[in-house]
Amino acid sequence: MLTTPEKIRILQRKLYRKAKQEPTYRFYALYDKVFRADILSHAYTLVRANKGSAGIDGVTFEAIEEREGVSAFLAELQEALRSKTYQASPVKRVMIPKTDGTERPLGIPTIRDRVAQMAVKLVIEPIFEADFCECSYGFRPKKSAHDAVDDVAYTLNKGYTEIIDADLSKYFDTIPHAKLMAVVAERISDGEILHLIKTWLKAPVIEKGRDGKQRNIGGGKGNRKGTPQGGVISPLLANLYLHLLDRIWERHRLEKKLGARLVRFADDFVVLCRQGTEQPMAITKRVLDKLGLTLNEAKSRVVDAMKEGFTFLGFELQKRKNWRTGKSYPHVQPSKKSLKKIKDHITALTSRNRSPLPFEAIVKEVNTALIGWTGYFHYRNCSRVLKQVREHAQFRLRIHLYRRHKIRDRKTGLKRYTNSMLYERYGLYKVPTTAVWR
């Protein structure tokens, strides 16, 4: 975890306090903070730590550090920002496969643009953080997906068991620029900051075809919607736009009036109800319609959590009865989709066609996948699912060893490659199988 330098922390605290004390105040002198040497240096460190790939210009972190050096790179960016000659480069689009067979577009700005975006984020985030509601958990300092899941579990326990499981259609691609900029301008009147944000929103989007040629497939001055997933500033802007939904819920005290609690993590949100879902659903649709957003009717649904589970942030939640005490409790475990994803990934990593690779490299990749997945899902009522993941990893690695060493008899293989050998000799990561509680 990178520590924010004290001088930047002091600035952020001042901005946060001012915003908290004066909810209608508009900040007008922020741009000169963006090109401060310490802010740009910390911005580079943060972007570097994210380990992202190169943008459309092909420039990597290694290239920057080996050729011109970080100091020269930041000095050039600082001068461009100070002299107001900075221009955003086009965004590189890559398609990321989804589990349902479709693809999700990911927009990757150049490293130079990502550092500039991070510098702006460091300055403006504390202002908006002062405004965000307590039901919002996504992309916020000191808040996490686990906090959002805990909120849902706690609310279920209070009897809010009728669930509106909402899904927005292509949220990042459909945010209207004009309305988004109006929300940003509620708090920021500094024209240069607003100009920078608009520049990033309207950056051309370039995609490389199978023939190797680059094609302009979107963005540009005529573009009126969307913020690229992959941009450093995009999560903050996306969170800020849906803050309007939180604000309506809070200001109109809808939780008390309708018995409906909203819990949101970026564009993933659920509404937990205990007095029926009809009114909360109607209000949600009306607000989203005014924001120019669409509820995905095919994926959004109403669930009775006493009878069936629903998925939120990769977890499946449901009210169940404790077999010992007979008392109901909120059961939270990794979803079937999340389980299938890690199993399929481990299967792919240990497939027959990877036998020519060194076995140590395969174990290392399997361990990386297991550690990452377990780090997130080793939470609440996870024991049974984690046990399945552990057993699958053992089974797949053993099968891989059978093929590698041409062992056809399972009994012989089991004797030769015991579980203890997989862990002690080959170094397989041992997935924990006991639930963890905070």
What are the tens digits of pLDDT across the range 421-431?
Answer: 999 999 999 99
User: Residue 438's pLDDT is what?
Assistant: 47
212 pLDDT higher than 80 = no
* Residue 387, domain member (yes or no): yes
* Residue 340, domain member (yes or no): yes
* Residue 411, domain member (yes or no): yes
Tell me which of 185, 210, 240 is where a domain ends.
240
User: Residue 436's pLDDT is what?
Assistant: 64
Provide the domain limits for residue 375. 335-425
| Lowest-pLDDT range of 102-106, 208-212, 427-431 | 208-212
Q: pLDDT digits over 388-427, tens only?
A: 999 999 999 998 988 888 877 777 777 788 889 999 999 9
Q: DSSP 3-state assignment of 201?
A: helix
Bridge partners for 231 per DSSP: 229
Q: Which residues contact 198 (CB under 8 A, 6 or more apart)?
A: 177, 181
User: Residue 123's pLDDT is what?
Assistant: 98
Go through 158-186 and write b for each residue having 16 or more CB atoms within 10 A of its CB, e for each that does not.
eebbbbbbbebeebbeebebeebbebbee
* Residue 262, domain member (yes or no): no
Q: Are residues 156 and 14 in the same domain?
A: yes
* Residue 12, domain member (yes or no): yes
Q: Are residues 31 and 140 in the same domain?
A: yes
Contact between residue 388 and residue 333 where contact means Cβ atoms under 8 Å apart: no
Least Cα distance to 202 among 188, 216, 186 occurs for: 216
Report the distance separating Cα 94 and Cα 329, nearest Å.
42
Tell me which of 221, 240, 259 is where a domain ends.
240
Q: Are residues 170 and 54 in the same domain?
A: yes
Arithmetic mean of pLDDT, 190-194: 97
Tokens of 340: 């299938």
Distance between alpha carbon 409 and the CA centroid of its chain, in Å? 45
* Residue 303, domain member (yes or no): no
User: Residue 210's pLDDT is what?
Assistant: 64
Q: pLDDT digits over 22-72, tens only?
A: 999 999 999 999 999 999 999 999 999 998 889 899 899 999 999 999 999
Arithmetic mean of pLDDT, 253-269: 95
State if pTM tops 0.75: yes
Least Cα distance to 192 among 29, 37, 24, 18 occurs for: 29
Query: Based on the structure, what is the number of domains in the chain?
Result: 2
* Residue 62, domain member (yes or no): yes
User: Residue 218's pLDDT is what?
Assistant: 66
User: Residue 265's pLDDT is what?
Assistant: 96
Tell me which of 192, 209, 240 is where a domain ends.
240
* Residue 278, domain member (yes or no): no
Q: Are residues 121 and 226 in the same domain?
A: yes
Q: Are residues 20 and 143 in the same domain?
A: yes
User: Residue 222's pLDDT is what?
Assistant: 65
